[in-house]
Structure 1
Amino acid sequence: MAIALRYAARSDLGLGPKSRNEDSGYAGPNLLVLADGMGGHAAGDVASSMIVGELAPLDEEDVTADQAIPLLEEALHSANARLTKAMRENSDLSGMGSTTIVMLRTGNKLAMAHIGDSRAFMLRGDTFSQITKDHSFVQQLVDEGRISKEDAGHHPQRSVVTRVMTGQPDDEPDTSLREAKVGDRFLLCSDGLSDFVGADVIEEILREAKTPAEAADRCIEVALKASTRDNVTVIVAEVVDADGDDLPSTVPQVVGAAGKRMRGQTRAIPTSPAEKAAALSRAATGRSEPDEDSLELAEDRSRSRRAKIILRLVAAVVIAAILGGGGYAAWAWSQKQYFVAADDGRVAIYRGVSQDLGPIHLSHVQTPSDVLVTELPSDVQGAVANTIPARDLTDAQAKVEALRAEAVRCQRLAATGIPCGGTSTPAPTGTSTDSSTESSTLPSSPVTPTTPLPSTPGAKPTTAPTPAVKITTPPPRALAPAMRGVGA
């Protein structure tokens, strides 16, 4: 059975302070593209428009499934090179960037590439799922078990992206190829929707809407009711039988910065993708023709040079304030975190997070101790080496006392000629309810200690058997990726 797409694209400026739409969207018979210009950089609207313009000709390509992914990668590399060239030729564009999601239909399959924190969802029967993974600092914390998915939505650095299109050679997208079935519905959206509207609400909209156009309109409406402070752009596509009663869409649609200044509206462009790409390229690089019908960016290019200078200075101050505020919020959050680790061969309490940003250390020793790491069983030594998180300072102190008791126990066994052993003793107790870490049980043998580890300072020893306990251990210290920019 041959398939086709029925689609709708919508975009809105949102209710925030932005004066122009930095999102761009394209929906065609064989191609869907969504790009969210980086709001923390200059000319995010230019970047998203250029990317859409570079990818639009793919709508006319007739490719096989084997060719689809390489074709997408080549087109994205070409778009990235265009960004580099534009920034070299025009210093006003320096630092621009954009997220990108692109879907290309090839036969009965959909090839997809994405980079950044814009998202794609799929509804198939009873299953609703997110089919992209954010390239963001917060997503990395979730992957490492340092915070929960629930905490990620409120994290002060949730807008920091780790990978986007910025013209750099290492801006590599994730790619995938999936079979498309009649009835499937896909949603591509910028974070103006996903940051303000829950996934359950998005699923409900996709299920209940009779058409992609109705679903797209509803998504914009709900985002505005949720007081989205960002540009919000959505593309909804439904897989239909090419020979069935549900007629597929045939006219490409361009929205956002890549279209004419039409806030909250969709512009259908009855031209070929190649012609459209040329128009978008002229608009994105400021070489628009005087024809009223030619595409133009949301930004008014006719402002005077003096006005431009003033606006750049204001923008620089605003960007510095945003970055400074975000940096302080992240630093303040980190100073409420504690963990136990080794310091010069001894157990110590650290304040901060066990990560470094290049030469910048995000933690320091809060309280040293006299507990030697070498006096602990080998499995417990490994736990200390990997750092042991704590809910707060009191919890960290309790963990140190537990480790002290374990060291004393090993010393007593050694005095009687009995080795303490590396895996014969369970790790010190330190059950944590902190949702920002994942619990894992350290290796231990079935042997049960006769002296429990006190969970709080001053707990009295007892000879009652104590079952093996869990200790929360985050990943080893690692260099956090460069935070290339603040997303829209």
Structure 2
Amino acid sequence: MTLTLRYAARSDVGLVRSNNQDSAYAGPHLLAVADGMGGHAGGDVASRLAIAALAPLDRTEHGPEEALTDLEHTVERARQDLVRASDADPELVGMGTTVTALLHTGTTLVMAHLGDSRAYLLREGVLTQVTVDHTFVQHLVDTGRISPEEAEHHPQRNVVMRVLGDFDVDLTPDMSVREARAGDRWLLCSDGLSGFVSPEQITEVLTETPEPDAAADLLITLSMTAGSTDNITVIVADVVEDDDAPAVEDAASAPVEGVTAPQIVGAAATGELPAVLATPADDPEDPAPVDQAAALDDADDPEDEDADDADARPERRRRPWITVLVVLVVLGGVGYGLWRAYGWTQQQYYVGVADGEVAVFQGIPASAGPLTLSTPVELTGTPVSDLPDYWADRLDGSIRASSEAEARQRADRLIAEAAPEPTPSPTPSPTPSSTPSTTPSKATKPADTKPADTEQAADTTAEKTTDKADGGSKG
């Protein structure tokens, strides 16, 4: 049984950033995501360099035993490219990028990982995070200083401790070999997705969306709906038997119409590599480097024929319906993704403010263009002005719930907790009398605290009084 990959790659600049510093490559034998960082243009260049170095691995020559070595050496070559590029251009100094790559060969998948771009595996309906983030917060979790729940909202959760950088330090990536099993679905993504969309939502999308391209579109939409402040890049890839997919060709010759044509997205799909990379790096232990720019160009346009091949050009002009079909499919996928994303938002609830009152909302506290994604469904009758500032500030949409009943319970609990504690009224002090009283008051000496000898004395006095009364009556 021969296994192959059916995949889709997507990348979006997001809601805040002005440029996309993510890059990704998806091909018949290679999946890779790189999240660049450093300076105005450094992140773009770093992620593009990483993908350019990795792209030539998308071929069939790798055996199971040599794939691990080839991938590790290629990541090291990419690091050397970053060093050489920053040495040639001071404006690029300090750039770096995460790298998460899967190299498919036979029935195995070889993985290299640096940084906080993640790889997830969906197998038999169960989603597993395969990679471990190389971040400061993950280090705190591993050492038991904070919990995984606290890590999700830690202010330093984006501080990466290990990346592919231009500093001349050897940071070995995490290398592993994993089984490729038919029916598995892999997700590679930057933290623009994993930092904003929960594992439960990711599981739902990957489980209920059969086609990789529709699943990738929906994940991008969910991340933007959740207010992602970063670039968003995802690759969704299914491991399928060779009979379930069209024949696979190498990256340089894969047909455009085939689902196995390589896809390059993000910064790697635009711009140019630094000119200094035209000269191969001097590394006697590394295999002779290939023309990385040519590899990206070939993968970007696998049907780019020679200029003298006049027969192919009229053929493309005779098939305009293919372009129309591709556009319709893309628009249909985007529309379906938006519909699924909106449907998901309407299954959510939160506690907020409507008409000056604490209210329960259906949806999420966000908007998509002119469309508002939430509606108040119940007013509690409690004015927000009656709440202390601390409690009123919590009504910013962060109190989420999975049902209207749960949202109402959370609203009631907030109102109850915000209610001021009743202050007990002070007991009035007794007014001193001008004539001392011979009988102690209950406030100063309760009857049940009377000493035993006092009770005996009172009994003796009562007996004497009785005796005197009896004696007087007899006489």
TM-score range, shorter chain: 0.5 to 0.7
CA 1:203/1:133 → structure 2, altered by over 3 Å: closer, same or farther? same
State TM-score, norm by structure 1.
0.53
1:223 correspondence with 2:237: no
Structure with bigger helix share is: 2
Q: Is the 8 A contact 1:223 1:232 kept in 2?
A: yes
1:255 correspondence with 2:265: yes
Deviation, structure 1 residue 212: 0.6
Higher relative contact order (CA 8 A, sep 6+): 1
Correspondence list, 1:203-352, <5 A: 203-244=203-244, 249-260=259-270, 277-278=293-294, 280=296
Q: Is the 8 A contact 2:14 2:228 kept in 1?
A: yes
- CA-to-partner distance for each residue in 1:272-295, whole Å, 9 max, x for gaps? x9777436599xxxxxxxx9xxxx
Question: 1:258 is matched by which residue type in structure 2?
Answer: A
Deviation, structure 1 residue 222: 0.4
Q: C-alpha distance in 2, partners of 1:190/1:88?
A: 27
Q: C-alpha distance in 1, partners of 2:205/2:63?
A: 33
Which residue matches 1:76? 75
What secondary structure sits across from 1:161 in the alignment?
A: coil
1:198 correspondence with 2:198: yes
Q: C-alpha distance in 2, partners of 1:279/1:224?
A: 32
Which residue matches 1:60? 59
Q: Is the 8 A contact 1:9 1:213 kept in 2?
A: yes
Correspondence list, 1:35-434, <5 A: 35-39=34-38, 43-167=42-166, 168-244=168-244, 249-260=259-270, 277-278=293-294, 280=296
Q: Is the 8 A contact 1:42 1:94 kept in 2?
A: no
Deviation, structure 1 residue 126: 3.0
**Structure 1: runs of 5 or more not aligned:** 262-272, 283-290, 292-488
Deviation, structure 1 residue 127: 2.1
CA 1:186/1:247 → structure 2, altered by over 3 Å: closer, same or farther? farther
What secondary structure sits across from 1:19 in the alignment?
A: coil
Q: C-alpha distance in 2, partners of 1:81/1:246?
A: 37
Question: 2:103 is matched by which residue type in structure 1?
Answer: L
Q: C-alpha distance in 2, partners of 1:54/1:22?
A: 17
CA 1:190/1:132 → structure 2, altered by over 3 Å: closer, same or farther? same
What secondary structure sits across from 1:160 in the alignment?
A: coil
Deviation, structure 1 residue 39: 4.9
What secondary structure sits across from 1:251 in the alignment?
A: coil
Deviation, structure 1 residue 134: 0.2
Which residue matches 1:360? none
- CA-to-partner distance for each residue in 1:388-418, whole Å, 9 max, x for gaps? xxxxxxxxxxxxxxxxxxxxxxxxxxxxxxx
Q: C-alpha distance in 1, partners of 2:55/2:131?
A: 21
Q: Is the 8 A contact 1:240 1:246 kept in 2?
A: no
CA 1:247/1:215 → structure 2, altered by over 3 Å: closer, same or farther? farther
What secondary structure sits across from 2:233 in the alignment?
A: strand
Deviation, structure 1 residue 169: 2.8
Q: Is the 8 A contact 2:126 2:203 kept in 1?
A: no
- CA-to-partner distance for each residue in 1:206-225, whole Å, 9 max, x for gaps? 10111110110010010010
What secondary structure sits across from 2:98 in the alignment?
A: strand
Question: 1:19 is matched by which residue type in structure 2?
Answer: S
What secondary structure sits across from 1:68 in the alignment?
A: helix
- CA-to-partner distance for each residue in 1:57-113, whole Å, 9 max, x for gaps? 000251111111111110000000000000101111110000001100010110000
Q: C-alpha distance in 2, partners of 1:219/1:24?
A: 17
State TM-score, norm by structure 2.
0.55
CA 1:131/1:161 → structure 2, altered by over 3 Å: closer, same or farther? same
CA 1:138/1:245 → structure 2, altered by over 3 Å: closer, same or farther? closer
What secondary structure sits across from 1:134 in the alignment?
A: coil
What secondary structure sits across from 2:120 in the alignment?
A: strand
1:12 correspondence with 2:22: no
CA 1:281/1:243 → structure 2, altered by over 3 Å: closer, same or farther? closer
Q: C-alpha distance in 1, partners of 2:171/2:234?
A: 23
**Structure 2: runs of 5 or more not aligned:** 249-258, 272-288, 299-306, 308-475
Question: 1:255 is matched by which residue type in structure 2?
Answer: V
**Larger of the two Rg values belongs to structure:** 2
Q: C-alpha distance in 2, partners of 1:276/1:5?
A: 23
Q: C-alpha distance in 2, partners of 1:6/1:78?
A: 28
What secondary structure sits across from 2:243 in the alignment?
A: coil
- CA-to-partner distance for each residue in 1:141-182, whole Å, 9 max, x for gaps? 000000000000111111111100003332210011111111
Deviation, structure 1 residue 189: 0.3
Deviation, structure 1 residue 124: 0.6
Deviation, structure 1 residue 41: 7.1
Question: 2:234 is matched by which residue type in structure 1?
Answer: V
What secondary structure sits across from 1:155 in the alignment?
A: coil
What secondary structure sits across from 2:172 in the alignment?
A: coil
CA 1:88/1:205 → structure 2, altered by over 3 Å: closer, same or farther? same
Question: 1:230 is matched by which residue type in structure 2?
Answer: D
Question: 1:12 is matched by which residue type in structure 2?
Answer: D
1:27 correspondence with 2:37: no
Q: C-alpha distance in 2, partners of 1:279/1:72?
A: 16
Q: Is the 8 A contact 2:185 2:239 kept in 1?
A: yes
Q: C-alpha distance in 1, partners of 2:83/2:125?
A: 44
Q: C-alpha distance in 2, partners of 1:146/1:40?
A: 32
What secondary structure sits across from 2:146 in the alignment?
A: coil
Q: Point out the more displaced range, 188-197 or 119-128.
A: 119-128
Q: Among all aligned residue pairs of Structure 1 and Structure 2, give the percentage whose two residues are the same amino acid.
A: 52
Q: C-alpha distance in 2, partners of 1:14/1:108?
A: 36
Q: Is the 8 A contact 2:56 2:295 kept in 1?
A: no
RMSD (Å) for aligned C-alpha atoms? 2.2
Q: C-alpha distance in 1, partners of 2:29/2:139?
A: 33
Q: C-alpha distance in 2, partners of 1:257/1:158?
A: 24
CA 1:247/1:236 → structure 2, altered by over 3 Å: closer, same or farther? farther
Question: 1:195 is matched by which residue type in structure 2?
Answer: G
CA 1:206/1:213 → structure 2, altered by over 3 Å: closer, same or farther? same
Q: C-alpha distance in 1, partners of 2:138/2:245?
A: 42
